[in-house]
Structure 1
Amino acid sequence: MKIAVISDIHANIYALINILENIDDEKVDTIICLGDLVGYGPHPNEVISMIRRRHILCIKGNYDSSVVDNKYSYIRETPINAFSLPWTVNELREENRIFLENSPLKLTLNIEGKNILFVHGSPNAINEYLLEDGDNTNEIMNTITEDVLVCAHTHIPGIKEFGDKLYVNCGSIGKPKIGRPNSTYCILDITKESGIKAQIKEVPYAYKRTVKDVTMLNFPNELIHSFETGVE
């Protein structure tokens, strides 16, 4: 079975459209989204509508949760979020807020005898950063019962083996932090014969269209710059 894992779209419709076209070329069996559909970007309703229209299985991200709560529940209280949170709350249609509210926090699948846990941040917290070489990542990978942990939230993709367990971070579609304005996502190829193979894909998109939209909407310069550079 071939699964595309996407996350952290952050209301960037141009990046999402581009990635879905790329995924269609890969002829995957299904797509799973690890959340953070909204926040930072200018197209929250368009992004959620596309995810719903494509019937993409989706869990909840920390920014999604904070937008539902309309407070800094799971995001930092920064100048950028002081702009982005209320802007997104005011922009979001009620039907899309309800979709975010009712999305699950995690997902576990058994595929070809392998148990795979999908989370946004970590199994412990929706807003915990699991970096590839973090001490907390090592601790979690040594304690989970599943064979594979697939996460996001950091916006930094990575694949690493921890003994007989596999850590995968799919990165970010709409607001990368890799030093380049490119989307990243992951393809999991799972067979009985070969087990699980994970691949990170990095794909350029027309980021200048996003920059144009956020500029016209008078988004903060620091936020605009992050879309241009792939640096937070």
Structure 2
Amino acid sequence: MLAAVVSDIHANVQAFSTVLAEADALGVDEVWCLGDVVGYGGDPDACVALAVERCDLLLGGNHDLAAVGRLSIEDFSPRARESTEWTARTLSAASVQALMPLQSLAERDAVGLYHGSPRHPVWEYVITAALADLCLNSAAQRVCIVGHSHVAGAFGRRGGQPATGAIRHHGTVTDVSGGEWLLNPGSVGQPRDGDPRAAWLTLDTSTWEATWRRSAYDIAGAQAAIRAAGLPDSLADRLQYGQ
């Protein structure tokens, strides 16, 4: 099976729709979303509707849970708090109904799927090899995919050796048929690895081959939606830099 894996949409419908169109062109069998459909961006209802329509598996991220009152925003940054409060005021009843029951972990085709990590599915950022080792120790699956960090990358380990990892760039193909792996598709709606293009990956579970992908999208349109919502200009500005 060929799955397209997306995460951290952040109410950026321009990026999300572009990625879905490119996934369709590849002939993917399923779309898996690791959460944070809303937050930061200006089109939360459109993104929720698209996720409900198109995703075969949909997890809830910390921004999704906070927007419907299931998670406190006390630990959010000021910009995250402001955008979450705006999202909560703006969401339609249908969007609230769609987000309210979401869980932050699942398994599909022997792959563990988590918004944050296998240890802490909602909150943990897996950004170091030491953390990756701890997460692999607690994972029930050999291959796991996580989001939350907004950085496309992978950590792997074999034969009892410590995990190693690196950022994955557009077009990078990795054989994950052996060993243990934590893969991160990066962020569709707000990349933070210096590449402003929407980040995602495909995983072929018949060959265990993961491919990281980037999609150019209408950044100006996404920025305009943020500004029209009255959200901080910095949330719009950062999109063009991938930061």
TM-score (norm 1): 0.90
1:187 maps onto 2:174 in alignment: no
Q: Does 2:191 match 1:176?
A: yes
| Matched letter for residue 101 of structure 1 | M
Question: 1:71: how far off?
Answer: 5.8
In the aligned structure 2, how far is the partner of 1:154 from the partner of 1:85? Answer: 18
Q: Residues 112 and 140 of structure 2 are in contact (CA less than 8 Å); yes or no, is this contact kept in structure 1? A: no
Distance 1:201 1:5 in 2: 10
Give me the whole-angstrom Cα distance separating, in 1, the residues matched to 2:94 and 2:193: 33
Larger CA deviation: 76-85 vs 99-108: 76-85
Report the RMSD for the aligned CA atoms in angstroms: 1.6
1:166 maps onto 2:181 in alignment: yes
Unaligned runs of 5+ residues in structure 1 are: none
Q: Does the alignment pair 1:39 with 2:51?
A: no
What's the % identity of the aligned pairs? 27
- Which letter maps to 2:67? V
- Pick which of 211-220 and 154-163 moved more: 211-220
Partner residue, 1:67: 67
Q: Give unpaired runs (5+ residues) of structure 2.
A: 159-178
Give yes or no for the alignment of 1:144 onto 2:143.
no
Equivalent position SS for 1:185: strand
Query: What do residues 146-174 of structure 1 show as CA deviations (whole Å, max 9, x unaligned)?
Result: 11010000000112322211111011101
Partners of 1:28 and 1:199 lie apart in 2 by: 13
Amino acid at match of 1:190: T
Secondary structure in structure 2 of the residue aligned to 1:69: coil
**Aligned equivalents of 2:3 and 2:81: distance in 1?**
36
Q: Which residue of 2 aligns with 1:54?
A: 54
Shift of 1:55: 4.7
TM-score under structure 2 normalisation?
0.86
Cα distance change, pair 143–17 in 1 and its aligned pair in 2 (3 A): same
Q: Mean alpha-carbon deviation: is it higher for 158-167 or for 19-28?
A: 158-167
Query: CA contact under 8 A between 2:62 and 2:71: conserved in structure 1?
Result: no
Shift of 1:215: 2.1
Deviation at 1:202, TM superposition (A): 1.1
